[in-house]
């Protein structure tokens, strides 16, 4: 799996700061850049706690992602984004099993893993046989497995990306999507701003202190205890 930030709006944090300050300044006021890193962190912290974060929509990000079609069905549920997915109507993927271009789910024993891989090989053979029999690539794609890996390009603004990451960093999210989300966290941290990633990219329970899922995971007591500890530390009880 891959998640690469291809490019984004130049000076992303300064761009968001500029839009934020313009909402509160008089006409003609010059908006200065951040004075120092402390001002930037304060701005990001305040922005993360208020409901109106539309200033992040001025920052556009473009991504190249490789993942299974099952993952891509999850990804494209995020509406405020643009997508360009490899067309299996046109591209012949007759060697996908040989090239291991499929996602192998974790947690299977040796027998189950062998059966899964054999199924990929069988699907490849059926796909190629159909094409040799005169079926079009578009028709033959119907026998391809949902876990076949293909590239997808995504464009999304930073505000929508925060929402996406919040949903998919949850431990109950699809495992492949969680791995992609972690890769995206690293990309944003390295190429946009590490403080932004640290402050904004958190699972719902890490942000609120309670679980929003109908099926809580084992992180619930840990997050609750962590939140209580942080609150106690804030009022100085623990020295």
CATH of domain 2-84+149-202: 3.30.1360.170
Burial of 150 from C-beta contacts in 10 A (0-12 / 13-18 / 19+): buried
What b/e readout covers 65-79, taking b as 16+ CB neighbours within 10 angstroms?
Answer: bbbbbbbbebbeebe
Place of tokens 């291991």: 100
Tell me the pTM. 0.85
Mean pLDDT value of segment 41-57:
92
What residues does each domain of the chain span? 2-84+149-202, 89-143, 204-239
**CB-based contact 57:159 (threshold 8 Å):** yes
Of the chain, the percentage scoring pLDDT greater than 90 comes to 69
Query: Strands (DSSP E) along 116-224, which ranges?
Result: 149-157
pLDDT in tens, 195-226: 999 999 998 778 777 777 766 776 666 555 55
In this prediction, residue 222 carries a pLDDT of 59
């Amino acid at each position: 799996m891959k998640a690469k930030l291809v490019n984004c709006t130049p000076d992303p944090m300064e761009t968001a700061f500029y839009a934020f300050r313009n909402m509160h300044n008089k006409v003609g006021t010059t908006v200065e850049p951040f004075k120092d890193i402390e001002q930037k962190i304060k701005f990001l912290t305040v922005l993360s706690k208020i409901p109106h974060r539309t200033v992040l929509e001025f920052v556009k990000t473009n991504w190249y992602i490789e993942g299974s079609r099952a993952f891509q069905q999850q990804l494209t549920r995020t509406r405020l984004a643009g997508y360009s997915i490899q067309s299996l109507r046109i591209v012949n993927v007759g060697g996908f099993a040989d090239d291991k271009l499929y996602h192998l789910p974790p947690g299977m024993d040796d027998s189950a893993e062998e059966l899964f891989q054999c199924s990929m090989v069988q699907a490849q053979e059926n796909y190629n046989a159909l094409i040799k029999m005169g079926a079009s690539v578009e028709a033959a794609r119907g026998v391809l497995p949902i876990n076949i890996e293909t590239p997808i390009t995504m464009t999304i603004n930073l505000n929508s990306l925060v929402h996406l990451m919040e949903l998919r960093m949850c431990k109950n999210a699809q495992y492949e999507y969680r791995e992609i989300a972690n890769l995206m966290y690293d990309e944003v941290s390295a190429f946009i701003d590490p403080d932004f990633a640290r402050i904004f990219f958190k699972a719902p329970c890490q942000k609120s202190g309670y679980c929003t899922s109908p099926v809580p995971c084992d992180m619930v007591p840990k997050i609750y205890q962590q939140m209580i500890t942080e609150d106690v530390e804030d009022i100085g009880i623990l020295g």
